[in-house]
Amino acid sequence: MLYDLPAPAKLNLFLHVVGRREDGYHLLQTVFRLISLADRIDVDVRRDGKIVRETDMLGVPHDEDLVVRAARALQAHTGTKLGAQIKVKKNIPAGGGLGGGSSDAATVLLALNRLWETRLSRAALMQLGLGLGADVPVFIAGQNAFAQGIGEQLTPVKLPERSYVVVQPAQSVPTAAVFGASDLTRDTDPVKMTDFSGVKLFAEFCGEIDQQSSFLQDFGRNDLQPVVLKRYPVVRQALDWLTQAGLSARMTGSGACLFVGFPGVQQATAVHQKLLAKTRTDFSSAALAGVLSPIQSISVCEGLSEHPMLHWIES
């Protein structure tokens, strides 16, 4: 049995929609950043061939859960007669744009590839993961990456150390509804870069060098953000609240979570404490009047240089 396996969240440092395929899938450009916020997963082998998720997930039927689908996909692909018992401790909010479900699926694939001794290569596992969701391959690849296509064409990038304040609004956002919106921008000009780690523009955006240039502070955008803000008022409230606090926040993925980057954990922690105090000041009286706070949670996360399970596969 493998206990307490990490399934880290991700941030999209920017997310551009550059086109749409005939099959309806959107063509994207983004940079995935792995962060320390993580679900924890226990996986054990069953000899009866059954795939069982121990944990009840509100609103997620057993057979539709990505961890169950991932295990069954690996089982079908390899022909193994073994099964799996899977327990998930959720820390990553659902509907937050942090990739929690995809990361859980990737961790299960990595774990069962070892437990079942199926010995698939990283490329084979990534291809299997792509059938589950466009974000799954990046977690199996295990490195921060510039992604193109539908998110599966990955180029590893080195990112400087950063810490983040991640704010979860008190509202979740369904991905399909956002990508299906008629007013979603789908023709952003593609970025003409293949290796961000060597580009001064991106280095400044990440806080690696002097940030005198106002242009570089605002590199790229999230094309899904205006769509979400228009349709999900609590997310807009949360973003406006952060803006009033003097912070320039950005939405990750299809929302709803917002993030602000800092050079180090001390700066992020200081802002985190100020925001917690501000929630008490701004929303305590409103709560007494029955008005709900737009803020569900605020956390500090460190950027990771690689997935904690990167070296579980040699090739």
Please give the positions annotated as active site.
Answer: 10, 135
CA 158: distance to chain centroid? 18
CA dist list (Å): 92 to 9, 68, 263: 7, 18, 23
CA–CA dist 225, 227 (Å, integer): 5
Cβ–Cβ under 8 Å, residues 295 and 93: no
Nearest Cα neighbor of 87 from 50, 115, 117, 52 is 52
CA atoms within 13 A on the CB side of 48: 4
Cβ–Cβ under 8 Å, residues 91 and 7: no
User: Per DSSP, which regions of the chain are E strands?
Assistant: 2-20, 26-46, 51-53, 83-89, 145-148, 153-156, 163-169, 250-251, 258-262, 295-302
CA dist list (Å): 247 to 145, 166, 208, 244: 26, 12, 19, 7
Beginning with the edge strand found earlier in the chain, give each strand of the sheet holding 163-169 in spatial order: 250-251, 258-262, 163-169, 295-302
CA dist list (Å): 43 to 32, 99, 139, 292: 26, 20, 17, 38
